[in-house]
Amino acid sequence: MNIKIIAVGKIKEQYLKDAIKEYEKRLSPFCSLSIVEIQPEQIIDESMILKYKSIEAERILPLIKHNSFVITLEINGKMFSSEDFASKIKQLSYEGINDIIFIIGGANGLDSKISELSNLKLSFSKMTFTHQMIRLILIEQIYRAFKIINNEPYHR
Protein backbone atom coordinates (compact mmCIF):
# COMPACT_ATOMS: atom_id res chain seq x y z
CA MET A 1 0.00 0.00 0.00
CA ASN A 2 1.16 3.52 -0.82
CA ILE A 3 0.46 6.21 1.74
CA LYS A 4 1.13 9.88 1.11
CA ILE A 5 0.81 12.60 3.71
CA ILE A 6 0.40 16.06 2.25
CA ALA A 7 0.94 18.69 4.92
CA VAL A 8 0.84 22.45 4.74
CA GLY A 9 3.92 23.71 6.56
CA LYS A 10 7.20 22.29 7.73
CA ILE A 11 8.20 20.55 10.93
CA LYS A 12 10.41 22.95 12.87
CA GLU A 13 11.15 21.19 16.16
CA GLN A 14 13.94 18.61 16.04
CA TYR A 15 12.23 16.29 18.55
CA LEU A 16 9.19 16.05 16.23
CA LYS A 17 11.41 15.46 13.20
CA ASP A 18 13.16 12.65 15.09
CA ALA A 19 9.90 11.03 16.17
CA ILE A 20 8.44 11.21 12.66
CA LYS A 21 11.63 9.69 11.21
CA GLU A 22 11.37 6.83 13.71
CA TYR A 23 7.78 6.04 12.69
CA GLU A 24 8.70 6.32 8.99
CA LYS A 25 11.35 3.65 9.62
CA ARG A 26 8.91 1.45 11.56
CA LEU A 27 6.32 1.73 8.78
CA SER A 28 8.68 0.61 6.01
CA PRO A 29 7.79 -3.12 6.28
CA PHE A 30 4.08 -2.32 5.97
CA CYS A 31 3.73 0.38 3.34
CA SER A 32 5.46 2.87 1.12
CA LEU A 33 5.17 6.23 2.87
CA SER A 34 5.89 9.65 1.47
CA ILE A 35 5.46 13.03 3.09
CA VAL A 36 5.05 16.14 0.96
CA GLU A 37 5.28 19.54 2.60
CA ILE A 38 3.41 22.44 1.00
CA GLN A 39 4.56 26.00 1.54
CA PRO A 40 1.97 27.80 3.68
CA GLU A 41 0.79 31.28 2.84
CA GLN A 42 2.04 33.92 5.23
CA ILE A 43 -0.90 35.51 7.03
CA ILE A 44 -0.60 39.22 6.46
CA ASP A 45 -4.26 40.18 6.46
CA GLU A 46 -6.81 38.17 8.49
CA SER A 47 -9.57 39.22 6.07
CA MET A 48 -7.75 37.31 3.29
CA ILE A 49 -7.85 33.87 4.93
CA LEU A 50 -10.13 32.37 2.26
CA LYS A 51 -7.70 33.58 -0.40
CA TYR A 52 -4.75 32.07 1.48
CA LYS A 53 -6.52 28.72 1.77
CA SER A 54 -7.33 28.82 -1.94
CA ILE A 55 -3.67 29.40 -2.83
CA GLU A 56 -2.63 26.48 -0.61
CA ALA A 57 -5.30 24.31 -2.26
CA GLU A 58 -3.84 25.08 -5.68
CA ARG A 59 -0.53 23.71 -4.41
CA ILE A 60 -2.19 20.56 -3.05
CA LEU A 61 -4.47 19.67 -5.98
CA PRO A 62 -1.73 18.55 -8.43
CA LEU A 63 -0.45 16.08 -5.80
CA ILE A 64 -3.73 14.14 -5.62
CA LYS A 65 -3.85 11.15 -7.92
CA HIS A 66 -7.27 10.47 -9.43
CA ASN A 67 -7.61 6.92 -8.10
CA SER A 68 -6.40 7.69 -4.56
CA PHE A 69 -8.55 7.48 -1.45
CA VAL A 70 -8.33 10.96 0.08
CA ILE A 71 -8.58 11.45 3.83
CA THR A 72 -8.60 15.02 5.09
CA LEU A 73 -7.92 15.86 8.70
CA GLU A 74 -10.69 18.16 9.85
CA ILE A 75 -11.91 19.09 13.31
CA ASN A 76 -15.49 18.12 12.40
CA GLY A 77 -14.46 14.85 10.79
CA LYS A 78 -15.33 11.35 11.92
CA MET A 79 -13.57 10.02 14.99
CA PHE A 80 -12.31 6.44 15.11
CA SER A 81 -10.81 4.24 17.77
CA SER A 82 -7.40 2.87 16.80
CA GLU A 83 -9.03 -0.49 16.07
CA ASP A 84 -11.70 1.09 13.86
CA PHE A 85 -9.05 3.10 12.02
CA ALA A 86 -7.11 -0.12 11.39
CA SER A 87 -10.30 -1.78 10.14
CA LYS A 88 -10.88 1.09 7.73
CA ILE A 89 -7.38 0.78 6.27
CA LYS A 90 -7.79 -3.00 6.01
CA GLN A 91 -11.18 -2.54 4.30
CA LEU A 92 -9.66 -0.13 1.76
CA SER A 93 -6.97 -2.68 1.01
CA TYR A 94 -9.58 -5.41 0.48
CA GLU A 95 -11.43 -3.06 -1.89
CA GLY A 96 -8.28 -2.84 -4.02
CA ILE A 97 -7.34 0.69 -3.00
CA ASN A 98 -3.56 0.92 -3.12
CA ASP A 99 -3.10 4.66 -2.65
CA ILE A 100 -4.25 6.60 0.41
CA ILE A 101 -3.57 10.31 0.71
CA PHE A 102 -3.89 12.09 4.05
CA ILE A 103 -4.12 15.88 3.87
CA ILE A 104 -3.28 18.14 6.80
CA GLY A 105 -4.19 21.77 6.23
CA GLY A 106 -2.36 24.82 7.42
CA ALA A 107 -3.09 27.14 10.32
CA ASN A 108 -6.24 28.35 8.55
CA GLY A 109 -7.56 24.87 7.78
CA LEU A 110 -8.39 23.43 4.37
CA ASP A 111 -10.01 25.13 1.42
CA SER A 112 -13.46 23.79 0.52
CA LYS A 113 -12.03 22.55 -2.82
CA ILE A 114 -9.87 20.08 -0.91
CA SER A 115 -12.51 19.16 1.64
CA GLU A 116 -15.00 18.38 -1.13
CA LEU A 117 -12.52 15.95 -2.73
CA SER A 118 -12.23 14.02 0.50
CA ASN A 119 -13.49 10.45 0.64
CA LEU A 120 -13.25 10.58 4.42
CA LYS A 121 -12.99 13.49 6.81
CA LEU A 122 -11.03 12.36 9.87
CA SER A 123 -10.71 13.98 13.28
CA PHE A 124 -8.46 12.88 16.12
CA SER A 125 -10.12 15.11 18.69
CA LYS A 126 -12.32 18.12 19.21
CA MET A 127 -9.24 19.70 20.77
CA THR A 128 -6.91 21.82 18.68
CA PHE A 129 -3.37 20.58 18.03
CA THR A 130 -0.54 22.23 16.18
CA HIS A 131 -0.22 21.02 12.60
CA GLN A 132 3.23 19.75 13.50
CA MET A 133 1.92 17.65 16.39
CA ILE A 134 -0.97 16.25 14.37
CA ARG A 135 1.46 14.97 11.76
CA LEU A 136 3.24 12.93 14.44
CA ILE A 137 -0.07 11.69 15.85
CA LEU A 138 -1.25 10.69 12.36
CA ILE A 139 1.89 8.77 11.47
CA GLU A 140 1.84 6.99 14.85
CA GLN A 141 -1.79 5.97 14.31
CA ILE A 142 -0.99 4.69 10.80
CA TYR A 143 1.80 2.58 12.32
CA ARG A 144 -0.50 1.35 15.09
CA ALA A 145 -3.13 0.45 12.48
CA PHE A 146 -0.69 -1.75 10.57
CA LYS A 147 0.40 -3.46 13.79
CA ILE A 148 -3.27 -4.18 14.58
CA ILE A 149 -3.99 -5.39 11.03
CA ASN A 150 -1.03 -7.79 11.23
CA ASN A 151 -1.95 -9.01 14.73
CA GLU A 152 1.39 -7.81 16.05
CA PRO A 153 1.79 -6.56 19.62
CA TYR A 154 1.90 -2.86 20.26
CA HIS A 155 1.63 -0.98 23.53
CA ARG A 156 -1.85 0.10 24.52
What does the alpha-carbon distance between residue 102 and residue 63 come to, in Å, rounded to a whole number? 11
Q: Between the CA atoms of 53, 60, 91 and 94, what dihedral angle is there, to the nearest 10 degrees?
A: 160
Instruction: Give residue 62's pLDDT.
Output: 96
Residue 45 lies in a domain: no
Dist CA 34 CA 54 (whole Å): 24
Predicted local distance difference test score (pLDDT) of residue 156: 59
Closest CA to 71 of 138, 131, 128, 146: 138
Give me the CATH number covering residue 89: 3.40.1280.10
pLDDT value for 139: 98
* pLDDT number for residue 66: 87
Could you tell me the residue range of the domain that residue 127 belongs to? 2-40+64-149
Residue 125 in domain: yes
- Per-residue pLDDT 10s for the chain (156 aa) are 999 999 999 999 999 999 999 999 999 999 999 999 999 888 788 788 899 999 999 999 999 998 999 999 999 999 999 999 999 999 999 999 999 999 999 888 999 999 999 999 999 998 888 889 999 999 999 999 999 999 998 765
Q: What is the model's pLDDT at position 153? A: 87
Res 131: pLDDT: 86
What is the pLDDT at residue 94?
96
Query: What is the reported pLDDT for 17?
Result: 96
The tally of domains found in the chain comes to 1
Residue 78 in any domain: the answer is: yes
